[in-house]
Chain A
Amino acid sequence: MRLVTAVVKPFKLDEVRAALEAFGVHGMTVTEAQGYGRQKGHTEVYRGAEYTVDLVPKIRLEVLVDDADAADVIDVVVKSAQTGRVGDGKVWSVPVDDVVRVRTGERGPDAL
């Protein structure tokens, strides 16, 4: 099993979610996050004084998937989140040792 984590532009959340649903992913966890990459932040001006906003609002989206699906899920996210401009975000996956469904106690792939 793998944990796929995506950091994307907030306005892309609905598209990414719809694409994942269509692919067959039935659960995810979404977090409002802040950060920056090559996009850097932006500058605001208050009474002539510049205020630098280093951290840009982002959405962090996490999905647990079977090993076999991981690459495809990443592709789905990349396709649906892409605008081609800086700040589109990143997607990565890491191996997961164990997963338990709290309600039933099922373990491993059955719990996905």
Chain B
Amino acid sequence: MTSHISSGDTAWMLASSALVLLMTPGLAFFYGGMVRARSVLNMMMMSFACIGVVSILWVLYGYSLAFDTDLGHGLLGGFGELGMTDAVNQVTGTVPVPVFAAFQLMFAIITPALISGAIADRAKFGAWIVFAVLWTTIVYLPVAHWVFMFDDGNGGWLGDRLGVLDFAGGTAVHVNAGAAALALTFVLGRRTGWPREHTRPHNLPLVLLGAGLLWFGWFGFNAGSAVAANGTAAIAFLNTQVATAAGLCAWILVERIRDGRPTTLGAASGAVAGLVAITPACAAVSPLGAVAVGLLAGALCAVAVGLKYRLGFDDSLDVVGVHLVGGALGSVLIGFFATATVTGGPSGLFYGGGFAQLGKQALAVVVVGSYSFVGAFLLGKLVDRTIGFRVSVEDEVTGIDQVEHAETAYDFQSLGAGHRPPLGGAGAPVPAGAGAHSVTQGDGDGPTGEGTSDSTRSVNA
């Protein structure tokens, strides 16, 4: 087999991998801004720490189980690439295997990170890490193999063998994460006080910053999934832009009609809903089709986020309403909007392709969603029964940042905090743990909590 490396393709894949990595810190901002001021660090750490642990497991066995030669029936990759020793000098398509492996690693990082939004304010950090490793291993790696592993008809059973179209992970990433998020809301239960007490986002500018970083990184996620710098990447890029824009417009339009005012949170959420829905479809639909996908996603998700109140599950940051619903919608819409001029093969119902593709798309959504839901529920229960998944009510009320990380996100410097000399002598450094809580933070939660600002300034006294 004579495969040669294309420098153009390789350059684009290196850049795309870095773009997709940036999505996870972006997600941390997106989620972090939506929680209470006393939980923001924990929320961001649940995403950020995934970069740490998943990268390591990817080299040890993750890449192998997802992308090594199929073990049989397209269910799981082999064990030939454990440690990735042999991959170093190999080429896949027109790019070196290490860049393809790095690109796919970024997907494996953000998928578990997406789940964390459902369990804001109440999960033990250590338990979350254990869960993220277990879920990535037992759920994500096989599903990535099913959907993303192509080997001339001997790859994954959904993508390569059955012909399901999921270009960048509508099922493997978004339905997968959304179904797992739903399962974890049942394992951990509701936040204390929910839904009687609503929490409001403590920092909407952070949410918008996060949405912007996600949008930016998503060009690598979708256009990079062409694994080449070619026409497919180009149409995926353009579709990503217009569907996201349409999602943004649709969501705030729903808000304008239903609630009276378009909101910042709605604009950010609509953009993400559009991104999620176009992910599987970006190399299957025309730009006009992408507008339709985005509009439908923005409108449907804007309504779907209200389901949790009807059904009583505390999906704190709407991972189900945006990622499960948006991912399923985008995957199924391929069955309607796919056009042979873009896919180069199958068409959807609206383009004369009949019901064949639609059936395959629906099957993939159901299979991946069910597998992930059951897997996440069992793994979550396992973690809960052994080391405990949830913090105590007292710790939840105190604030999970302080309890799990011994940190506070914001120092508001109010009422003289921060100006007080250290206990035991001015300028003397205070060792960590020796009353360090009280040194610069006053009573810790007081001024940093919501709505208790009581700062005094003296005017001409």
Chain A residues with a Cβ under 8 A of chain B: 17, 26-34, 44-52, 55
B201 at the interface (CB under 8 A from A): yes
For B453, the chain A residues whose CB sits under 8 A away are: 32, 34
For A50, the chain B residues whose CB sits under 8 A away are: 198
B456 touches A49 (CB 8 A): no
For B459, the chain A residues whose CB sits under 8 A away are: 17, 28-30
For A52, the chain B residues whose CB sits under 8 A away are: 198
29 A-B Cβ contacts within 8 A? A17-B459, A27-B460, A27-B461, A28-B459, A28-B461, A29-B458, A30-B457, A30-B458, A30-B459, A32-B454, A32-B456, A33-B454, A44-B200, A45-B255, A45-B259, A45-B263, A46-B263, A46-B265, A47-B265, A47-B305, A47-B318, A48-B258, A48-B259, A48-B302, A48-B305, A49-B306, A51-B198, A51-B199, A55-B451
Interface residue ranges of B187-242 to A (CB < 8 Å): 198-201
* Minimal Cβ-Cβ distance residue in B for A48: B306
User: At the interface, is chain B mostly helix, strand, loop or mixed?
Assistant: loop
A28 to B200 Cα, complex, angstroms: 35
Interface residue ranges of B235-276 to A (CB < 8 Å): 255, 258-261, 263, 265-266, 269
A48 to B255 Cα, complex, angstroms: 7
B85 at the interface (CB under 8 A from A): no
Which of B259, B266, B452, B455 neighbours the largest number of chain A CB atoms within 10 Å of its CB?
B259
**Nearest chain B CB to A65 CB, angstrom units:** 14
A26 touches B451 (CB 8 A): no
A44 to B265 Cα, complex, angstroms: 12
For B259, the chain A residues whose CB sits under 8 A away are: 45, 48
**Nearest chain A CB to B441 CB, angstrom units:** 20
In the complex, besides A27-B461, A47-B318, 19 extra interface pairs with C-beta distance below 8 angstroms are: A27-B460, A28-B460, A28-B461, A29-B456, A31-B456, A32-B454, A34-B451, A34-B452, A44-B200, A46-B198, A46-B263, A47-B265, A47-B269, A47-B305, A49-B198, A49-B309, A51-B199, A51-B200, A52-B198
For A46, the chain B residues whose CB sits under 8 A away are: 198, 200-201, 263, 265
* Minimal Cβ-Cβ distance residue in A for B259: A45
A52 to B200 Cα, complex, angstroms: 10
**Nearest chain A CB to B449 CB, angstrom units:** 12
* Minimal Cβ-Cβ distance residue in A for B414: A32
* Minimal Cβ-Cβ distance residue in A for B322: A47
For B269, the chain A residues whose CB sits under 8 A away are: 47
Interface residue ranges of B351-390 to A (CB < 8 Å): none
* Minimal Cβ-Cβ distance residue in A for B34: A46
For A26, the chain B residues whose CB sits under 8 A away are: 460
* Minimal Cβ-Cβ distance residue in A for B198: A51
A62 to B460 Cα, complex, angstroms: 12
**Nearest chain A CB to B65 CB, angstrom units:** 37
For B199, the chain A residues whose CB sits under 8 A away are: 51
